Amino acid sequence: GGRAENQGASFIAQDNAWFDKLAADGYALRVYQSDYRNLCGQASIAYCFSYPTNGIAPIRDLDIPAAIKTRLIVGMFYKDTVSYRIANLADESFGGRLSAAVLPESWRGGAPGEPQLSPVATVPVIDRLIRDIRAHPRGTAFVAHLMLPHFSYQYDRECRLKPDFRTWLNRTRDLVTNDEASRRERYEAYLEQVRCATKQMDRVFAALKDAGAWDAATVILHGDHGSRISIATLGSPDVADFTDRDLVDLHSTFIAVKTAGRDGGHDGRQRSIRAIFAETVGLDADPDATPPGLLFASHSTQHKTPMIPVRMPELPDP
């Protein structure tokens, strides 16, 4: 395949030490990226596939009525405008009639421009990734930014698309906040989609095994943020409501590493994913901070305690 860059991405990686190392070690590098982040600026990349997380393309092939597709498209374009934020505030004086007429209720949460259709856009990318793994099983490094599990919550645990688009909840009930009831409702939907994501990863692992590449392969899975299903954020009207639990909801994630000759196990320590990743791939990284904490770009004078270990909700039995 050839290279195909998306210059419209929100974040463009100018340098990538890991990609440089992979190329130096003789790997052909294949990247599968969303239009949110551009990783394809390196000359060493052999193949780059970019997919949209919003807009008409993810809707086009969905098996839903044309009238619903039309409403979804209109709702997305409405929400992606600056007028959405203004209208959202004005709606409070009119009982939300404008948003109710244009935007599906479940989509009124979250900031303007946030991806709404990223899960349904991602599953076909996983299909493509699996095909390519089977075609290029050895000597290839596959890097994929998969927007799953992600809001909105469109799949059940069996990866079946929920037929009623009004149940495709976003991460918050309004622009930036939840209450306890809306947080619980969204976590239930999110954890269903987590199960779907796990099933999709099982398919990727099966492709590696079928290609005879599993035993020697290094596989790294990690998130880039938490569920983001928080009660409050640093952008909430009353930032005093921001708690340690919100820190965990917004910023905690996981990393799982499989390498040849390494026994399986679980490490419950709080560590920097950046440091763990660097150790795994043989790069230098700054040591973990002690105790672990977070740096915020805003509210820099406001002290926030480091995250504390929190037991995540258990997934329901299949």
Q: Tokens at residue 222, please?
A: 């990690």
144 DSSP β-pair partners: 32
Number of Cβ within 10 Å of residue 282's Cβ equals 9
Is residue 31, in this structure, part of any structural domain at all? no
| Domain-located, residue 25 | no
Predicted local confidence at residue 83, as pLDDT: 64
Q: At what angle do helices 180-210 and 118-135 cross, to 10 degrees?
A: 10
273 located within any domain: yes
The DSSP output letter for 58 is: H
Structural domain count of the chain: 1
Does residue 220 lie within any of the structural domains?
yes
Integer Cα distance of 255 and 224 in angstroms: 10
What's residue 195's pLDDT?
A: 97
pLDDT along the chain (318 residues), means of 10: 44 84 95 90 88 82 82 73 64 58 62 72 96 95 96 94 86 82 95 97 98 96 92 70 81 90 85 86 77 51 44 40
35 near 60, Cβ under 8 Å?
no
Residue type, 114: E
User: Range of 223's domain?
Assistant: 52-281
Quote the tokens at residue 142.
């596959």
Residue 69 confidence (pLDDT): 82
- Is 32:143 a contact under the CB 8 Å cutoff? yes
Structure token digits, residue 72:
């979804």
How far apart CA 254 and CA 228 sit, in angstroms, is 14
Residue 240 forms part of a structural domain? yes
Residue 309: inside a domain: no
> What DSSP line would sit under 228-273, residue for residue?
---S--TTSS-GGG--HHHHHHHH---EEEE-TT-----------H
Q: Does a structural domain hold residue 7? A: no
Say if 9 falls within a structural domain.
no
